[in-house]
Amino acid sequence: RKEVEQDPGPFNVPEGATVAFNCTYSNSASQSFFWYRQDCRKEPKLLMSVYSSGNEDGRFTAQLNRASQYISLLIRDSKLSDSATYLCVVKNQGGKLIFGQGTELSVKP
């Protein structure tokens, strides 16, 4: 089983749609959780950290469920510019970062 596993993509949605991505992790001792965004053949950039209480940044909401060992990212009112690959990242108890394989999102007009 992979340490970090994401919904297989791609997700093709119309503008204005709400879309949710899920990510599961296998190590219950994992410490921190993040969502990164990666545009095609570009470097990943931190989108947001994921806190136990859940957190929101504009149209983006991240949630963590430690009991079930999953993280989610919700994008509301999706824009064309949201088209990218979203990477789930987990920091394990040794401090190393483990990247998921990414979920590709394509927002269409």
Partner 1 sequence: DGGITQSPKYLFRKEGQNVTLSCEQNLNHDAMYWYRQDPGQGLRLIYYSQIVNDFQKGDIAEGYSVSREKKESFPLTVTSAQKNPTAFYLCASSMVSWDSEKLFFGSGTQLSVL
Binding site residues, partner 1, CB under 8 A: 4, 32, 34, 41-46, 49, 87, 89, 91, 95-102
CB of 16 to partner 1, least distance (A): 28
15 vs 97, which CB is nearer to partner 1?
97
- Residue the block writes with tokens 């999953």: 70
Least distance in Å: CB of 15 to partner 1? 25
> In the bound complex, what is the minimum distance in angstroms from residue 52's beta carbon to partner 1?
16
**Which residues neighbour 24 within 8 Å (Cβ) at sequence distance 6 or greater?**
4, 5, 68, 69, 70, 71
CB–CB of 3/98 below 8 Å? Answer: yes
Sign of CA dihedral 13, 16, 18, 24: positive
Closest approach of Cβ 100 to partner 1, in Å? Answer: 5
Nearer CB in complex with partner 1: 74/98: 98
Complex with partner 1: residue 101 or 106, whichever CB lies closer: 101
Residue with tokens 């919904």: 7
Residue 32 contacts by C-beta under 8 Å, 6 or more apart in sequence?
Answer: 49, 50, 90, 91
Q: Smaller CB distance to partner 1: residue 49 or 106?
A: 49
